[in-house]
Amino acid sequence: METKLVKISAHDGAEKYNEAACLLRDGQVVAIPTETVYGLAGNAYSESAVRAIFEAKGRPQDNPLIVHISSFDEIYPLVREVPDNARKLADAFWPGPLTIILPKSDKVPLCVTGGLDTVAVRCPLHPVANRLIKETGLPLAAPSANLSGKPSPTTADHVYKDLNGRIPMIIDGGECEEGVESTVITLATETPKVLRPGNITIGQLRDVLGDVQVDNAVLNPLKDGEKVSSPGMKYKHYSPDTDVVVVRGSYNAFRAYVNANADCDTYAMVFSGEGSGIKAKVIEYGLSDKYRELSHSLFGTLRRLDELNATRCFVRCPDETNDDNLAVLNRLLRAAAFNTVDLRAKKLVGLTGKTGAGKSTVSKLLEEKGAYIIDGDVVARRVLCEDSSILVELEAAFGGVLCEDGTLDRKKLARKAFSTPENTERLNSIIHPAINEYIHSEVEKAFMEYDCVVVDAAAIIESGFADECDCLFVVHAPEDIRKQRIIQRDSLSESDALVRINGQKDDDFYISRATAVINNYPPFDLNDEIKKIFNLIY
């Protein structure tokens, strides 16, 4: 069969729809754009048209189809009755990406509903879909226009790739706005229940209906023998050929995991702006806090992985505490066949504080509690010893800071670099990036064995590393106590101690950026303080 591609836009007149409308009235199938995903439409009253839909998609016969109408009144012939709640939902969300399930009328063939006595109805917002239904004068049964099991199509090109040669026509109406299929809610249960999340969110539905439940199968694999509310939930779904693995946890933990586990055909599917620092091929799918951006690009991105011949893809999991992300989460978990990695216990902790506050003491206590400690001073020393390109840069910047054997003369460097704030700034801009990179690789190694990695560094805020930590703790003690401690520890005179103390930023610089303060002076009990921060870490 030859598949014809026809472009139709919102502004086109009735004549543009003739050919498609004729095919549909004739019992044939046509792929159409909707605001969610492309659908494969056929006359809902024609058993042969419905059969053709199942055949073209290779869809299991017991998986029911959604019937599409162009305005609310067209619902009456399809259902036994129209409850108040259906009217309320339609007033709030139709035309739009919401499907309502109600007891079906006798007019709806059982092949449409997969043998169920309920029918799913939706009134699409997309001008081309809506107009085509009007022009055809029929309710149109339409599942997503993909081969069964594949990610749903959000462009005409996706449909063409799956169904070319299997259907007579594809209408190209551009890229779908929403990108995930409609929210499916049943009103055939005592309490309304969401069977499939979409971009009409649970919160929006509760605003209209009050109590709304979410079906267990939305986020969980079916148990053996468990009865499904929606047959679509029992099949493998939305899956590219690439093996998808959903990775739960922070960005740091994700990066460390991917860098340790990626090989050359592995991709990382991340939120916008997260690519740098990940040692795998990266594909972005939108800003982490914009669920409609994520949903818009989700299926296209999954399909793209196949085009790129990715064998495996680690995916950043959207925030599971935010119900608005349910649709994307639901599709990702199914695309992964529930293959997930949970790194939520992995925490990267920053630890800092002024001189004499007692960072090292706190580090030791954290180590005793099972954390892995990375000492910023040790890393800095190592970078300055081992990284010859840094020494070249320092010599170029300050001049005369190397010994005869080419090693760094630390005293000379300190004298020059701390002589003016500009010079200090210059020193930092040379060494901080190198130190941060070194710490990153140490963190990666440590995360293979430890859940909690602590980076103890005096300049962790100034170097920017604090921004990457899951939390930042500042060890604090009043100035006179800190002064006494460094006088004793480093055998300093009082005036030398004061020079050191005065060279640091004020308390507020640290405290305003901290997740919490660890008070290391009487009458505080340091062990209690440590317990407090472990509660904050987890």
Binders of ligand TXA in range 219-278 (CB under 6 A): 230-232
Contact (CB, 8 A) for 159 and 180: no
With binding defined as CB under 6 A, does residue 99 bind ligand TXA? yes
Burial degree of 175 (CB within 10 A; 0-12, 13-18, 19+): middle
* Binding test (CB under 6 A) with ligand TXA, winner from 28, 34, 295, 520: 34
Nearest to 97 by CA among 17, 166, 171, 152: 152
Long-range contact pairs involving 378-387 (C-beta distance under 8 Å, separation at least 24): 379/435, 379/438, 379/439, 379/442, 379/457, 380/431, 380/435, 382/438, 383/431, 383/434, 383/435, 383/438, 384/408, 384/410, 384/431, 387/434
Q: Write down the residue that tokens 């509690």 correspond to.
A: 369
Helices (H), 387-493: 388-398, 410-417, 421-449, 479-490
Nearest to 285 by CA among 329, 322, 343: 329
With binding defined as CB under 6 A, does residue 53 bind ligand TXA? no
Residue 65 contact among Mg ion, ligand TXA, none, beta carbon within 5 to 8 Å by kind: ligand TXA
With binding defined as CB under 6 A, does residue 520 bind ligand TXA? no
Q: How many Cβ atoms from other residues are within 10 Å of residue 319's Cβ? A: 12
Residue 298 contact among Mg ion, ligand TXA, none, beta carbon within 5 to 8 Å by kind: none
Token duo for residue 491: 């055998």
Residue of this chain nearest to Mg ion (CB atom): 144
* Binding test (CB under 6 A) with ligand TXA, winner from 56, 65, 328, 457: 65
Q: How far is the CB of 146 from Mg ion (least distance, A)?
A: 7
With binding defined as CB under 6 A, does residue 216 bind ligand TXA? no
With binding defined as CB under 6 A, does residue 36 bind ligand TXA? yes
DSSP string for 392-423: HHHHHHHSS-B-TTS-B-HHHHHHHHTSSHHH
CA separation for the pair 265, 280 (Å, rounded): 8
* Binding test (CB under 5 A) with Mg ion, winner from 118, 144, 155, 186: 144
Q: Write down the residue that tokens 């003739």 correspond to.
A: 18
With binding defined as CB under 6 A, does residue 39 bind ligand TXA? yes
CA separation for the pair 270, 298 (Å, rounded): 11
CA separation for the pair 303, 18 (Å, rounded): 32
With binding defined as CB under 6 A, does residue 301 bind ligand TXA? no
With binding defined as CB under 6 A, does residue 167 bind ligand TXA? no
Tell me whether residue 117 or residue 525 sits nearer to ligand TXA (CB atom). 117
- Positive or negative: CA dihedral 43, 48, 51, 55: negative
User: How many residues form the binding site for ligand TXA (CB under 6 A)?
Assistant: 28
With binding defined as CB under 5 A, does residue 99 bind Mg ion? no
The one segment of 3-11, 18-26, 87-95, 137-145 that binds Mg ion by CB under 5 A: 137-145
With binding defined as CB under 5 A, does residue 330 bind Mg ion? no
With binding defined as CB under 6 A, does residue 154 bind ligand TXA? no
With binding defined as CB under 6 A, does residue 113 bind ligand TXA? yes
The one segment of 179-187, 248-256, 273-281, 390-398 that binds ligand TXA by CB under 6 A: 179-187
* Binding test (CB under 6 A) with ligand TXA, winner from 170, 184, 373, 390: 184
Can you give the binding site for ligand TXA, defined by CB under 6 A? 34, 36-37, 39, 63-66, 97, 99, 101, 113, 116, 118-120, 122, 142-144, 181-182, 184, 195-196, 230-232
